Amino acid sequence: MASVELSNLQKTFGAFTALEQLNLKIDDGEFLVLLGPSGCGKSTTMRLVAGLEEPTAGDILIGGRRINDVPARDRDLAMVFQNYALYPHMTVGENIGYPLKIARLPRAERESRVREAAEKVEMAHLLTRRPGELSGGQRQRVALARAIVRTPQLFLMDEPLSNLDAKLRTVMRAELKHLQKELGTTTIYVTHDQVEAMTLADRIVILNDARIQQIGTPAEVYARPDNTFVASFIGSPPMNLIEGQVERGTFAHAGGALALPGQPDGPAIIGIRPEDIAVAHGAGDLSGTVFSSELLGDSTLLNVRSGEAMIAVKVGPTEGREMNSAIALHFDAAKLHVFDKATGARRA
């Protein structure tokens, strides 16, 4: 187990910058998730820590020790990838035990550690099967067991659940979180799925365009996104962002106007989450027409067209509306976010 520190880490490929000066400290035992859209630099960060790529500049420290020049095999970390990369001709037990064989551990010790790791992922009864005879979820468990069998100081996981169907992903997510806390092994986990990030992480690092956009606990990034990118990336559906003009404490937009005291005159973007909007009885803060009404079981998601904007609203399961009917919405003033129009940065 160890802490990890990335200091001014940078990676360029020719003229292309895959990662700008990244600074990040990961605590011992922490489950840290790197979240961002395709191409933002998540996997590059992971590959740098793993030693599969060399940084253009900056330092990587594991347990306080600079490991830039330490070869990948000596970094004492275990990786789990999207394609589990199991050896098809080996049994489950042989696959799990392979890292121990490479490390030349005696057979008896290997066998007991393989059994122990297999038990942790509930695969001990399938040790003699081959990967071809397993389900996707079982293969994923074998890959996890192979990662934990060596008790490394760090786990690196790159989209390890994305090959599984939605239901199994939810099950494996819970198992993975439980296992990581039980083992207490520092983990860096890459995903583009914000639900996975929210549910697994102690802290989330949101990346876009090779830069960190925000670092925080799931609750922090949800409640107080630093900019419109984070606001529109976290949450399902994400925060509504509405462009308009502030004039003498009033925010005017295509669908109405609302009080926005203390903000300077000029263009601005307000943000509000779907659950912080209610259907108004009266004028409301915004009026529009119902574009769609979707019953989700425990709630109803209304999509309301207002001017150019499409506003997502989460209401009760019995509050569905007719398509194309007129609707007025009330925004919870305490839950309004204000962003700068030019930079997207949070103002309030």
Residues near ligand ATP, by CB under 6 A: 13, 16, 18, 36, 38-44, 192
Cβ 121 to ligand ATP shortest distance, Å:
25
| Backbone φ and ψ of 247, nearest 5° | -140, 120
Our CB check for ligand ATP shows the closer of 24 and 90 to be 24
Using CB atoms, what's the residue nearest to ligand ATP? 43
Our CB check for ligand ATP shows the closer of 38 and 318 to be 38
HEC letters along the chain? CCCEEEEEEEEEECCEEEEEEEEEEECCCCEEEEECCCCCCHHHHHHHHHCCCCCCEEEEEECCEECCCCCHHHCCEEEEECCCCCCCCCCHHHHHHHHHHHCCCCHHHHHHHHHHHHHHCCCHHHCCCCHHHCCHHHHHHHHHHHHHCCCCCEEEEECCCCCCCHHHHHHHHHHHHHHHHHHCCEEEEEECCHHHHHHHCCEEEEEECCEEEEEECHHHHHHCCCEHHHHHHCCCCCCEEEEEEEECCEEEECCEEEECCCCCCEEEEEEECHHHEEECCCCCCEEEEEEEEEECCCCEEEEEEECCEEEEEEECCCCCCCCCCEEEEEECHHHCEEEECCCCEECC
Our CB check for ligand ATP shows the closer of 195 and 309 to be 195
Euclidean distance between CA atoms 281 and 276, whole angstroms: 16
Cβ 239 to ligand ATP shortest distance, Å:
22
Our CB check for ligand ATP shows the closer of 56 and 289 to be 56
Do strands 4-13 and 77-81 pair parallel, antiparallel, or not at all (unpaired)?
unpaired
Our CB check for ligand ATP shows the closer of 16 and 282 to be 16
Cβ 82 to ligand ATP shortest distance, Å:
9
Cβ 44 to ligand ATP shortest distance, Å:
3
Our CB check for ligand ATP shows the closer of 43 and 185 to be 43
Our CB check for ligand ATP shows the closer of 42 and 141 to be 42
Cβ 311 to ligand ATP shortest distance, Å:
29
Cβ 45 to ligand ATP shortest distance, Å:
7
Cβ 229 to ligand ATP shortest distance, Å:
14
Cβ 34 to ligand ATP shortest distance, Å:
8
Our CB check for ligand ATP shows the closer of 209 and 294 to be 209
